[in-house]
Amino acid sequence: MTTASTTASEAAAPADAPVPLAAGEIRRVGVVGCGVMGAGLAEVCARAGRDVLLVSSGEAGLARGRGRLERSLGNAVRKGGISDAEREEALARVTYATDLGAFHDRQLVLEAVPEHEATKLRVFRTLDEVVEAPDAILATNTSALPVIRLARATRRPGQVLGLHFFNPAPVLPLVEVVGSLLTDEGARRTAADFVTQVLGKQAIHAGDRSGFVVNALLIPYLVAAIRMYEAGYADARDIDKAMTLGCSHPMGPLALADLIGLDTVAAIARALYEEFREPAHAVSPMLSRMVDGGLLGRKSGQGFYTY
């Protein structure tokens, strides 16, 4: 029997759930994926003094991830955020591998592979097999997929949750902490404490609903801007100028969509539409064609703008 104040995650947690680690005890972090987000997460954790293992499916991906990490830390030095010595120390804390089995000793694993549910499910099944510590936290950086589906791919759903960082992860301070109905309350609390006390970020707690808080508000806005451009209301620069100068937004919606990645915007919009069936979430024909054509924004060099 539960009291009115008991959370859903507390009610769902098994009686034999592992005793949660304290946030400061998490010293060994794994990151799956060497894309923009994966490299950013590795940097954030390395700068916080953690031993980071970054895994990609191949040597080419590792090389790209290493390059992203080195460039980002170099930019931090040039902007005065860190010293040359701190840059070298952060780089020294990151090791690389191509086998998820290397995560066997990790206490926290952050998944940051592309927003494809089948791919993420395969990752979580493998992590469940190879990560040895029963109190290890397995976290997804998904933008819109249900955390509970990923949790159910494991035999430890209480240790699975969402930690949704924002791009660029070393710069933006927000992290959405997302517990599913199966997440153990101790694991959720430890993850939130790690975000705030160790990484120095700001956390908000969101329910396990597609889009969480930020993307549930943001993606319909971006999709509306794309439809406006497609319908010929104005060109891309004027649409963006309208929102930066007229509404004091730091970046216009089409430039922001390019920064996020048009494939990611489309994937989140589809996930939102699948869950809520709201017309505002439907992917426009232009967005679909741009993704089909590899016009993904900054990551491909061409989107609504040329980079």
Write out pLDDT tens, residues 233-278: 999 999 999 999 999 999 999 999 999 999 999 999 999 999 999 9
**Cα gap 298→307, rounded to integer Å:** 6
pLDDT value for 9: 42
Active-site residue, selected from the candidate residues 43, 115, 176, 185 = 176
Active-site residue, selected from the candidate residues 72, 180, 210, 215 = 215
The DSSP result for 129-152, as a single string, is: HH---TT-EEEE--SSS-HHHHHT
Active-site residue, selected from the candidate residues 164, 185, 210, 284 = 164
Active-site residue, selected from the candidate residues 72, 143, 180, 210 = 143
Least Cα distance to 28 among 94, 84, 121, 88 occurs for 94
Least Cα distance to 179 among 31, 2, 7 occurs for 7
pLDDT value for 101: 96
Q: Write the pLDDT tens digit of every residue in 2-40.
A: 333 334 444 444 556 778 789 999 999 999 999 999 999
Residues in the chain predicted with pLDDT less than 70, given as ranges, are: 1-16
pLDDT value for 7: 42
pLDDT value for 293: 97
Type of residue numbered 234: A
User: Domains, the chain, ranges and CATH?
Assistant: 25-206 (3.40.50.720), 214-292 (1.10.1040.10)
Strand locations in the chain (E)? 28-32, 51-55, 94-97, 108-111, 137-140, 160-165, 174-179, 202-206
- Strands of 137-140's sheet in order across: 94-97, 51-55, 28-32, 108-111, 137-140, 160-165, 174-179, 202-206
- Clarify whether 281 is annotated catalytic: no
- Tokens 């493998």 — which residue? 126
Judge contact between 186 and 17, C-beta under 8 A: yes
pLDDT value for 16: 63
Q: List phi, psi (to 5°) of 5.
A: -90, -5
pLDDT value for 21: 85
pLDDT value for 18: 79
Least Cα distance to 194 among 83, 28, 40 occurs for 28
pLDDT value for 15: 53
- Clarify whether 143 is annotated catalytic: yes
Judge contact between 288 and 253, C-beta under 8 A: no
Cα 46 off chain centre by: 17
